[in-house]
Structure 1
Amino acid sequence: MKKFGVLGLVAFLLVASASLSFGMEMKAKGYWWIEAQMKQGWDFLDKGAATAEDKTFNIEQKMRQQFHFIASENLRGVLDTQIGSANWGNGLFGIGAGRSGNLTGTGSLTAGNGNIMLRQGYVEFRWPSTLTNFKVGFQTLTLPAAFGGGSAILDDQIAAAVVSAPITDNVSVLAGYARALDSNSNYATTAGNLTGSGTATDIVFAAVPVSFKGATITPFAAYANAGANTRGVGSGAPSLDGFAGPNSSSGQGLRAYWGGLAASVTALENFKFMADFNYGKATYNNPSATNGKGGRQGFLFDIAVDYTGLSMMTPEVFFTYSSGENGNSSKDGTSERMPVVGTPQNWTVGSFFFGERLELGGSINNTAGYTSNTLGYWAAGISLKNITLFDKLSHDINLLYARGTNDKNYLYELNNGGAGNVQNAKYGGFLTTKDSLWEVDFNSRYKIYDELTLLVYTGYINADFDKDVWGDSNVTNAADIKQYGSKNAYKVGVGLNYFF
């Protein structure tokens, strides 16, 4: 069946190409990515743990293709597909990780079975005789962010309708509606669909970019309403890592809102200043919760300064802070971590612990889950970006220190069974005030051709996680942590990127 699916896509593209003679233009772009990586110690447990030594060598591959069907400068359709990534050796070209519909998954954000994954499929057009732009369909949606590469609240492929328009020469507006989850689907793998209300998560959002000479400031806001069956029968949004808290249960709905500001300033010669502030609050529809409470609320802010006066590199210093669980949340109160929609794809500092946008398998917490682990920390660091001493060869160096802002009692007083309890706090990702780490990364890129890049990268994390705190806690692998933690983590990788 997978072969028929691939043949169907090829036939579709051939038919689309034939339509060029009728006045439509088609453009294609994308990339092929092949990467080999050696990694060790990513579970931060020493050799001999019952979970086995964490030392692996993998080769991964990913292919992404984006097709633009252009009727005019005012109208186009976009189809974006992806095959992989997954390890070499998984069957006959079995590198697929498509999205599959089922009532127990997380809707449009679910990775399922199949060779081809739809990343985007939308129509974009400009209203006649205006500068008002519409984008409708499955698309990449991210809230505003000045630093970190993307939003820490929402940055994912999602079904949405977005409109943007200039108000004045300096002010514009962007607003829209998105349906993040919906348990009713006509391709469900289980028999029948749900009936009644409470089967979806809907989001409305708005941003107002204000630009002046040397500065751009973008305030934004978003609101979400999620039903008690938004993921399936008796499975609501509070069972997702980004919304889970001490009082959450699987069969709950919620209401959530976010607000924030992204600012970028270049008015001072040779300097670029970036800053973000994000705040969010989610309230569960659960009046019987302990003390009438239930939900999570928290914030994240960051600030960074680039020095742009050097031709051979761009030095950067940065600081970021996110609120963590406190004594109240450890006693079944409201979680003090910011609620998050899905798993943000691009937000990161450094290129190891917090994630890496430019590697297939370059991050500990890409796999472990940004929303379930890393919120609740502060981090400071220095980056030397785009060091260019020789033609076609460039390097990046990152050095950072991070420490947790989560109360250690959060691990003691919560059980390991319910959603949002310590299953939402995993060793090696979730940092308490007793845990800290140093990270250093060195990444190099050599352009074999303008479109083909050789990537070589290394990373090291010196971990200081309190094995007594974690070993006496209620997490599943507490006994292993007590006996074997903590261990440092390493990575070494080589990759080929062909962008077209």
Structure 2
Amino acid sequence: MKRIITLILAASLVLGGVCNASAIDFKAKGEWLMNFDLGTGGKFVSKGRDGKNAVGNYRAAGHGVEDNFEARQRVRLELTAVASEALSGTVFFEMGDSVWGASNSLYGGGGALGADGSVVELKRAYIDWVVPSTDLKLRMGIQGYYLPSETFGSAILMEDGAGITASYKFNNNVSLTSFWLRPYNDNATATNTGDTRVSANYLDNVDFFGLVMPLDFEGIKITPWVMAGAIGENFDRTNVNFATEIAGGSKVYNGASPIDFRRNTTALVAPPGALDDNARHLLRADAYSSAVWAGLTGKITLADPFRFSWDFNYGSVTTGREEYDRSGWMLSALAEYKTEWGTPGLVGWWGSGDDGNIKNGSEIMPFVSIGSGGYNLSTLGTWGEPWLSNDGIMGYNAVGTWGFGARIMEFSFVEALKHNIRVNYFRGTNDPDMAGYITGTRSYKGQGKATGLSDFNSYGTYLTTEDSGMEVNLDTHYDIYKNLDMWVHLGYIHLWLDDSANMWGGYDKKGNSHGLNATDAWRASISFRYSF
């Protein structure tokens, strides 16, 4: 009997060793986020050109359906199965955003009485593996795509998408990353426009290909990059509401209005697209529009703790019809000095703007998509923090504007309590004549108002060289426990807009001119995050 027991134990040890050798190591992380937000949502203008309250003018860039006070929550869970250093798989789930009390999934469903909302989303799912006997790393699947930036975050692409990324490190100073991203495909339908000439899923794909080469040396880092691609002429002929589903924009997708481009996926094409009001798509001449972006980012730390960094980006989309083409550039810079109590800094940026000719397309830099919490020039006007608050009310990024500001990051005089303060002044770089095509004081091809609504911020914000503004942010971070922190966000924006009748002002029924009835934007929110 002892001999039999000994054999069983020996066999168990052998089998156990085999199981351990082939075991998968699971790693999990996630966060629970609760947010309570009070603010005006950036409803800068409450009346239309006729002097009456206009529903369109109650919505700022993507926040027209929000109340002044809202409570939200979100849960994110990420699970990675690690087979070895050369092979792993990751799946990333997101539950929410859920607005407390809301049942409609478009507006954060699952928070109404009874709950049970269908709000579980697949955020990312990919595999990482190394080509055998090489140092070439591959990532395949739905993943995060972030173009290089050393200042505020990429003004072109910071978003999740499906594709393949390959990276290779030549040495400690030089590496190369290439990628293929397919943001859209198989979404087109004929039913949403009633155009029987469009068959389902025909010429509706969008593909981007990119190269990024970081050059990292002691005290200086420079990263040149390029991204090119093709945009199918029917990619936006779809029942998918891009403005709401992708960018949190206006409820009705009506093409690329002169002010809508700041927010949604039609930032790939020129503003005049909205002037074809008979279709919800863009009547481009080429089957595939060609797109190209290029940039050079850099960071100098030779005089550490002083740091200077910059981003220069250029982008162009050619459609085959000049009036729909779009090309432009953007330069941003950051200088900061790190101390024991915080990091003060100065910021500046300049983005090209539209000229006064509506027939030659747009001169604002095209962009793809900016995810929440990516573009941290500010935390109210731009998409600068990921805490579900009412931010990004001026647009995802700062294209079509120039400005400068001062900030102090992570300054603290009390343990576990830190603050970020930002003060920015900005001004539009767009020709005032373009505002006339938005309001209808100017016409193109015999048409009046491009959007069908009225005036400033109907579908976003569009600043001309006659318009300027100022933003102040104070964000406070407190560590309650090791895994529980609290954020308090305070933000305020004031705009100085040209309210003359030929700009954003208007006329009443008697022909008398009136101003904008403009108001300031503000936000106060508190967020709690449990992370592990």
TM-score normalised according to structure 2 size: 0.76
Note if 1:471 corresponds to 2:490.
no
Cα separation, 2, equivalents of 1:452 and 1:78: 24
Match of 2:261 in 1: none
Matched position secondary structure for 1:471: coil
Residues 267 and 180 (structure 1), Cα distance of their counterparts in 2 relative to 1, 3 Å cut? same
**Which range moves more in the overlay, 376-385 or 40-49?**
40-49
Cα separation, 1, equivalents of 2:79 and 2:188: 26
Structure 2 gap segments, 5+ residues each: 1-18, 60-66, 111-116, 243-254, 257-264, 274-280, 437-441
8 Å CA contact 2:375, 2:396 repeated in 1:
no
Note if 1:377 corresponds to 2:410.
no
Percent pairwise identity:
26
Matched position secondary structure for 1:332: helix
Cα separation, 2, equivalents of 1:244 and 1:390: 49
Match of 2:384 in 1: 356
Shift of 1:226: 1.3
Structure 1 gap segments, 5+ residues each: 1-18, 99-112, 287-291
Match of 2:100 in 1: 88
Match of 1:342 in 2: 369
Shift of 1:421: 12
Shift of 1:431: 1.1
Residue 183 of structure 2, aligned match among 180, 183, 199: 180
Note if 1:147 corresponds to 2:173.
no
8 Å CA contact 2:331, 2:349 repeated in 1:
yes
Note if 1:430 corresponds to 2:462.
yes
Cα separation, 2, equivalents of 1:493 and 1:233: 35
Shift of 1:428: 6.4
Match of 1:326 in 2: 355
Any residues of structure 2 matched to 1:419-458 within 5 Å, and which?
426=458, 429-458=461-490
Residues 408 and 378 (structure 1), Cα distance of their counterparts in 2 relative to 1, 3 Å cut? same
Cα separation, 2, equivalents of 1:390 and 1:218: 37
Match of 2:276 in 1: none
Residues 484 and 93 (structure 1), Cα distance of their counterparts in 2 relative to 1, 3 Å cut? closer
Residues 418 and 439 (structure 1), Cα distance of their counterparts in 2 relative to 1, 3 Å cut? closer
Residues 189 and 43 (structure 1), Cα distance of their counterparts in 2 relative to 1, 3 Å cut? closer
Residues 21 and 487 (structure 1), Cα distance of their counterparts in 2 relative to 1, 3 Å cut? farther
8 Å CA contact 1:83, 1:95 repeated in 2:
no
Cα separation, 2, equivalents of 1:425 and 1:93: 25
Match of 1:5 in 2: none
Note if 1:199 corresponds to 2:211.
no
8 Å CA contact 2:489, 2:526 repeated in 1:
yes
For residues 212-251 of structure 1, what are the alpha-carbon distances to aligned partners after superposition, in whole Å with 9 as ceiling and x for unaligned?
001110000011111112233799x985421231554524
For residues 180-217 of structure 1, what are the alpha-carbon distances to aligned partners after superposition, in whole Å with 9 as ceiling and x for unaligned?
1112599x999x99468522111110011101001110
User: 1:268 corresponds to which letter in structure 2?
Assistant: A
Matched position secondary structure for 2:435: helix
Cα separation, 2, equivalents of 1:78 and 1:24: 13
Match of 1:303 in 2: 333
Match of 1:6 in 2: none
For residues 245-288 of structure 1, what are the alpha-carbon distances to aligned partners after superposition, in whole Å with 9 as ceiling and x for unaligned?
155452434111011111111111211111000001100134xx
Shift of 1:385: 0.6
Match of 1:486 in 2: 518
User: 1:242 corresponds to which letter in structure 2?
Assistant: A
8 Å CA contact 2:498, 2:505 repeated in 1:
no
User: 1:496 corresponds to which letter in structure 2?
Assistant: F
Cα separation, 1, equivalents of 2:408 and 2:45: 31
For residues 69-106 of structure 1, what are the alpha-carbon distances to aligned partners after superposition, in whole Å with 9 as ceiling and x for unaligned?
111111111111111113211149998579xxxxxxxx
Matched position secondary structure for 2:95: strand
8 Å CA contact 2:105, 2:119 repeated in 1:
no
Matched position secondary structure for 2:68: strand
8 Å CA contact 2:103, 2:109 repeated in 1:
no
Match of 2:3 in 1: none
Match of 2:13 in 1: none
Any residues of structure 2 matched to 1:38-187 within 5 Å, and which?
38-40=38-40, 42-45=42-45, 49-51=53-55, 56-91=68-103, 114-148=118-152, 150-183=153-186
Shift of 1:454: 1.3
Cα separation, 2, equivalents of 1:261 and 1:421: 39
Residues 339 and 364 (structure 1), Cα distance of their counterparts in 2 relative to 1, 3 Å cut? closer
Residue 432 of structure 2, aligned match among 408, 416, 419: 408
Cα separation, 2, equivalents of 1:185 and 1:333: 28
Residues 352 and 247 (structure 1), Cα distance of their counterparts in 2 relative to 1, 3 Å cut? closer
User: 1:276 corresponds to which letter in structure 2?
Assistant: D
8 Å CA contact 1:96, 1:114 repeated in 2:
no
Residues 255 and 21 (structure 1), Cα distance of their counterparts in 2 relative to 1, 3 Å cut? same
8 Å CA contact 1:224, 1:257 repeated in 2:
yes
Residues 31 and 86 (structure 1), Cα distance of their counterparts in 2 relative to 1, 3 Å cut? same
User: 2:230 corresponds to which letter in structure 1?
Assistant: N
Residues 95 and 225 (structure 1), Cα distance of their counterparts in 2 relative to 1, 3 Å cut? closer
Match of 1:390 in 2: 414
Any residues of structure 2 matched to 1:32-43 within 5 Å, and which?
32-40=32-40, 42-43=42-43
Shift of 1:467: 2.2
Match of 1:271 in 2: 306
Cα separation, 2, equivalents of 1:83 and 1:116: 4
Cα separation, 2, equivalents of 1:321 and 1:74: 43
User: 2:267 corresponds to which letter in structure 1?
Assistant: G
Cα separation, 2, equivalents of 1:189 and 1:115: 25
Shift of 1:24: 0.7
Matched position secondary structure for 1:336: coil
Cα separation, 1, equivalents of 2:36 and 2:270: 37
Cα separation, 2, equivalents of 1:267 and 1:56: 47
**Which range moves more in the overlay, 115-124 or 176-185?**
176-185
For residues 319-376 of structure 1, what are the alpha-carbon distances to aligned partners after superposition, in whole Å with 9 as ceiling and x for unaligned?
0111111123xx32120011111345412312211222243123143xx7527xx521
Match of 1:315 in 2: 344
TM-score normalised according to structure 1 size: 0.80
- When the two structures are aligned, how many residues end up with a matched partner? 448
Match of 1:243 in 2: 268
Matched position secondary structure for 1:230: coil
